[in-house]
Structure 1
Amino acid sequence: MAKKVVATLKKEGGVTYAKVIRAVKSEKTGAYSFKEEMVPTPMVQETLKK
Structure 2
Amino acid sequence: MLNACLPRAFTQWAEVTPLNFTRSESLLGADIVIGFFSGEHGDGEPFDGAMGTLAHA
The alignment's TM-score, normalised by the length of structure 1, stands at 0.25
The alignment's TM-score, normalised by the length of structure 2, stands at 0.24
Higher strand proportion: 1
Higher helix proportion: 1
